[in-house]
Amino acid sequence: MGIFDFLTGEFIDVIHWTDDTRDTMVWRFEREGHEIKYGAKLTVREGQAAVFVHEGQLADVFTPGLYMLETNNMPVLTTLQHWDHGFKSPFKSEIYFVSTTRFNNLKWGTKNPIMLRDPEFGPTRIRAFGTYTIRVKDSARFLVEIVGTDGEFTMDEIAFQIRNIIVQEFSRVIAGAGIPVLDMAANTADLGKLIAAEVSPTLEGYGLEMPEFYIENISLPPAVEAALDKRTSMGLAGDLGKFTQYSAAEAMTAAASNPAGGGMAAGLGAGMGMAMANQMANQMTAQQARPGPWGAAPQPGQQAASPVPPPPPVEHVWHLAEGGETKGPFSRADLGRMASAGELTRETYVWTAGQDGWKQAEDVQELAQLFTILPPPPPPGV
């Protein structure tokens, strides 16, 4: 082998790129003086594209495959250099490998609340966040518009710009969609497709595309969420009377299980128990006195329940003191007959339960009335 063949062999390059960082979008093949040897082998793997830039001008784009870098394989570069087919000297160019795989699980979210007019709640604010997937669709355009001469371009360098585009389009779409806030959760898939379609034209100008876009959550301000929770609780309660009884029973159970409550907890539980008993008794009485269905009279064979009468009042009984002895007890009717027969006078001492000591009959208001129906004693001398 001659010296020329040896030097020609030394000029041969093997150009390829493997990446395990999972966030590198573009990587430039580094060679001293950017000299690429004529006849070099270029390996472009699946999920990659190779872009040649010669003297600052994009020369060619290679898709996955194995290439021999010769004039017949690089027509664009050949035209730029005005090469003859036999010219085999090294040439100065730059090779950029572009990852065309998907970059998944990228985050987006609204930094500030979005104002919108809800059909049910009126003006309100919402926040949202989710994930998206990005991919290089046009390697040449992406290199020209975004990367420039960056030797290693990562996803983090463009993620902030893409998030701004997403939030802008999301705010515009969600404000003009007219979907009630309570129905947004059921329409996140359709909203995601709509927003992805609105973002796509801007991304295409960068040489990118968005295969997937997801809305994970749409939330309201804490005050609005608290009001919705109360409204939901009222709907779940249904019968407020039963809900009150249930709440009282829960409070009694909690008070009874709290030893630190002492007598106060016991008194609170007893009071709630009496209130519940009275409420249940009133409901039972109302149900018994209620007429048949639709306000009609009881059906044949159906007995109408009569209301329970209240207990009779307790009648006072009286004791009399005569000759150092106690007589009785006597009812008021008995005392009336005794007053008519002269056995009970105004000066007779009487006593009943709850009375403070013995009193003359005329000093007790209830018995003084017995003597008003009798004529007074005749005047003397008549």
In whole angstroms, what is the distance from residue 261 CA to residue 270 CA? 13
The tens digit of pLDDT for each residue in 103-112 reads 999 999 998 8
Asked if residue 330 has pLDDT above 70, the reply is yes
Residue 225 has a pLDDT of 80
At 53, is the pLDDT very low, low, confident or very high (cuts 50, 70, 90)? confident
DSSP state of 369: G
User: Measuring CA to CA, which residue among 315, 356, 311, 357 is closest to residue 335?
Assistant: 315
The tens digit of pLDDT for each residue in 2-50 reads 434 434 444 447 888 998 888 999 999 876 655 677 678 889 999 999 9
Q: 318-371 adopts what CATH topology?
A: Dna Ligase; domain 1 (3.30.1490)
Question: Of all residues in the chain, what percent carry a pLDDT higher than 70?
Answer: 67
In whole angstroms, what is the distance from residue 349 CA to residue 357 CA? 10
304 versus 139: the higher-pLDDT residue is 139
The tens digit of pLDDT for each residue in 57-79 reads 888 899 999 988 775 555 545 44
82 versus 381: the higher-pLDDT residue is 381
188, two tokens:
């996140």
Asked if residue 311 has pLDDT above 80, the reply is no
At 267, is the pLDDT very low, low, confident or very high (cuts 50, 70, 90)? low
In this prediction the pTM is 0.55
pLDDT (average), residues 318-338: 84
Sequence spans of domains, the chain: 3-99, 103-222, 318-371
CA atoms within 13 A on the CB side of 5: 2
Q: How far is CA 143 from CA 157, 162, 208, 272, 345, in A?
A: 13, 16, 11, 76, 126
Residue 320 has a pLDDT of 87
Beta strands per DSSP E along the chain? 14-15, 24-29, 35-36, 41-44, 48-54, 57-62, 65-68, 91-92, 94-99, 103-109, 114-118, 122-136, 152-154, 208-219, 318-322, 325-330, 349-351, 359-360
Is 3.40.640.10 the CATH number for 103-222? Answer: no
The tens digit of pLDDT for each residue in 217-247 reads 998 888 878 877 777 776 665 566 666 666 6
| Cβ atoms 227, 202 nearer than 8 A | no
Q: For strand 94-99 and strand 24-29, is the pairing parallel, antiparallel, or unpaired?
A: antiparallel
**Summary mean pLDDT of the chain:** 77
Q: How far is CA 116 from CA 44, 59, 213, 258, in A?
A: 49, 49, 22, 48
Q: Which of 32-46, 276-290, 333-347 has the highest mean pLDDT?
A: 333-347
DSSP state of 147: I
Residue 5 has a pLDDT of 43
Asked if residue 80 has pLDDT above 50, the reply is no
